[in-house]
Chain A
Amino acid sequence: QEANLKRAKRGDLKVSVHHMEMERIRYVLSSYLRCRLVKIEKFFPHILEKEKSRAEGELSILSPEEFAFAKEYMANTEAHLKNVALKHMPPNLQKVSLLKSVPKPNLDSFVFLRVLERQENILVEPETDEQREYAITLEEGSQHLIRYRTVAPMVASGAVQLI
């Protein structure tokens, strides 16, 4: 009978652990998707503009559902501002460019990264007037703190990984 009890408890524990793992995965997934949505809502005019000017073969940074969500968010917000305020304003002020009014993402902010593929001769912009631009080599496995703009194409290609 004790053996039976032990077997039952072990099974139960496995179920609990499995359950726990599922919850953890669900959390990580949820958190990641939530973060994406927050970014979409924060920068919506710029994201939609970038999507509009995307070249033929280039991959989109948004999933089709995210794109639909972004468009709906834009339409909803624009219509609201128009109906509540803009249409009551003098004729020459009834249009407003959301692209200009909503803050842009700061591509010059510094980011931490880890190098996955060795990169040679990366041009770094001068920080002060006395410096001139110089070239650095990013060794595989090294970590750096650098402006996002300098490494943006490498993030897209997967050569570096943001931490």
Chain B
Amino acid sequence: RQALEEMRALYERNQADVSEAKSGRADLIFLIRFRHCCLLRNQRCLLAYLYDRLLRIRALRWEYGSVLPNTIQFHMSAEEVEWFNRYKKSLATYMRSVGGEEGLDLTQDIKPPKSLYIEVRCLRDHGEFEIDDGTTILLKKNSQHFLPRWKCEQLIRQGVLEHVLS
């Protein structure tokens, strides 16, 4: 915001000088050109900063999933939240269109699978968790389980489960 103020101030001063220059005072041209360069630089820096923020927010979707933790959302502007929502929707539409009726969740399977089942330890209480054959598992802090890999992937990323490498 400060940068925008500075740009506005610079521009206004430049404007005054432009009209002066037009009326014949050629020596002001260098000053005008200099201020224009400052303005361009400010514009570039601002856009680079904002774009970099967008790239980080995009990375969040791939790391955390569709719902951002509140601590992160707190640091995002309303427009950035809107950008995130639109990005997430665009991504979901694309994933749905891939392969078959349900689509393919591209945010799963980030690493090549080594085995079907993995040993996981629960890092915090997460309540009940249902696996494919219908049984429910109670995920209590520090309990260890031997579960199908694909079911655990998301929970591992969220930090609820921890892959135990023996």
Contacts and interface: CB of A to CB of B under 8 A. Distances in A.
Interface in B7-58: 7-8, 11, 39-40, 43-44, 46-47, 50-51, 54, 58
B79 A101 contact: no
B8 to A, nearest CB: 7
Which secondary structure dominates chain B's binding surface? helix
Given A20-B116, A69-B94, A83-B79, A27 B109 contact: yes
Interface residues of B, number: 39
A7 interface: no
B87 interface: yes
Given A24-B112, A88-B4, A76 B106 contact: no
Interface stretch (A29-37, A109-117, A126-134, A154-162): A29-37
A80 B43 contact: no
B14 to A, nearest CB: 8
Interface string A86-114: 10111001001000010000000000000
Interface residues of A, number: 34
A24 B113 contact: yes
A69 B91 contact: yes
Contact of B11 (A27, A34, A90): A90
Contacts of B149: 23
A123 interface: no
B98 interface: yes
Contacts of A19: 116
Contacts of B155: none
A86 B77 CA distance: 16
Contacts of B99: 29
Contacts of A26: 104, 109
A136 interface: no
Given A85-B47, A89-B7, A65 B112 contact: no
Interface in B85-137: 86-87, 90-91, 93-94, 97-99, 104, 106, 108-109, 111-113, 115-116
Contacts of A34: 106
Interface of A: 16, 19-20, 23-24, 26-27, 29-31, 33-34, 37, 41, 65-66, 68-69, 72-73, 76-77, 80-81, 83-86, 88-90, 93, 96, 101
Interface of B: 4, 7-8, 11, 39-40, 43-44, 46-47, 50-51, 54, 58, 77, 79-80, 82-83, 86-87, 90-91, 93-94, 97-99, 104, 106, 108-109, 111-113, 115-116, 149-150
6 contacts: A80-B83, A84-B77, A84-B79, A93-B39, A93-B40, A96-B47
